[in-house]
Amino acid sequence: MSKTYLCVIGKILCITVLLSAFVILMPATAFSKVVSIDAQADVSVALNDNGTVFMWGDTRDGTFRSDEPVLVDITNITAASAGVFNALFLKDDGTVWAIGDNEYGQLGDGTRVDSSKAVQVQCLSEVVAISAGDCHNLALKRDGTVWAWGCNLFGQIGNDNVGHDELTPVQVPGLSGVKEISAGYMGSKAITGDGTVWAWGINEYGQIGDGTKEIRSLPVRISINNVSAIDTGEYGTSIALKSDGSVWTWGNNGQGQLGDPAEDTLSMMLPVSNLGSERLVPGKTGGLYNVTSVSAGARNSLAVKDDGTLWVWGENQEGRFGNGLKFGRDSIRPVIVPGLNNIVSVKAGASYMLALSDDGTVYGWGKNIFGAVGNGERSETVVKPLIVIKGTVDSQDSNTTELPVTEDKLSVDSNDGSSQSQPDLNLGLAGMAVFIVTVLLGIVILIRTRK
């Protein structure tokens, strides 16, 4: 074999070594896909399928502020939830971690000390779901019990001890067999396995749904069934999705966010300007069928249909309808958000929206003075959906996500060795194997060329 030929092979092997090293050192998130999103007030989170989490926005207490998605320095996450002043993370070992403001004990670590590092919530194990609220939080354990901690000013903890903050989680009495939880503004909701809904906390607009405006410091059952998902907006609007794909709303309706009760809403051509009053019990929102995801914002509501389209109704200010207008006409009729396809879920913050498509792309629009949209700046308003995290499709039709370019990371106060982002294990081992074999071949060729 000629030396020239061996030199060519040697160069090829050198390139292979470099590529192998790149694979070894490549962060796990380089081939991740966003699988869930959450938003509340001006805080946003996105969970990747490899157990990492992005966070952006502003907790307004100084513990976190970013105008674009940054990686939270914690791994093995299975769920992430955004609160008004903090965020929650559920790890695959069933433990819960929190970051942000702690004035009311919402970090659950037994103190009132704010933390820019994620700290472990005490007294919790075998948790399967989490939900962050205004200044309180909820956790669902594997046994179907619900646990709450933080502010209890309006009974949102649900333990009949109004006015007493809980610095560590306490069990919410009277609940069992729960499958879904939702913590909103000063209030809480739970769905049991049979689709019934329980609610407690503030009831200023009738958002509890029991026909009154009385504060409920213990869970009360609501007259609605077959519910599969539920959400509560910042200003007292509740929205529920039933298993048949229908949407039900109650509570505050100052800007028409409860929708039109007429079944043929979407087929009517005349404009509707009259906005309804509060509704103290759940009522069906007309014109919406085959819905798969819902969310309630501060003054508007959203729904995703099974065809991947996204619909919005209520207040049309600060670009919330995503139609290019900063200020438009409020509507009790759902209107489609233009330019979006293949949407699988939606989340509304205070005055901005996030949508997730089936390829892992995250879109954002609306009021952006606190950077909650995530486009890298603090503009007054984003009037059309823009890509916050871009999803792509590889040659085998599997979905991956192109990450935002940033070096910023949040820290996690952890002793389990997971405080630093780890390379993907499979990619790392494969890269190492290629690296070792290539080096050995290179040594052999080097020896041959010197003979």
Amino acid at site 408: D
118 vs 410: CA distance, rounded Å: 8
pLDDT digits (tens, 9 = 90+) for 38-61: 999 999 999 999 999 999 999 988
Residue whose tokens read 């791994």: 75
Q: Taking the model in full, what pTM does it have?
A: 0.83
**Helix intervals (H) in 87-223:** none
223 vs 340: CA distance, rounded Å: 35
242 vs 195: CA distance, rounded Å: 8
286 vs 22: CA distance, rounded Å: 54
What DSSP character marks residue 32?
A: B
Decide if 386 contacts 352 (C-beta within 8 A): no
99 vs 397: CA distance, rounded Å: 36
Strand-by-strand arrangement of the 237-242 sheet: 227-232, 237-242, 247-251, 279-284
Residue 403 sits at the vertex; the CA angle it makes with 400 and 407, to the nearest 5 degrees, is 150
pLDDT along the chain (451 residues), means of 10: 56 55 47 92 96 95 93 96 96 98 97 96 97 97 98 98 98 98 97 98 97 98 97 94 97 93 51 66 94 96 98 95 94 95 96 97 96 93 96 46 44 39 42 56 59 56
Amino acid at site 88: L
Q: What is the pLDDT of residue 259?
A: 94
pLDDT digits (tens, 9 = 90+) for 186-206: 999 999 999 999 999 999 999
Strand-by-strand arrangement of the 146-150 sheet: 127-132, 136-141, 146-150, 166-171
Torsion of CA 237, 386, 336, 313, to 10 degrees: 20
CATH of region 38-428: 2.130.10.30
139 vs 107: CA distance, rounded Å: 12
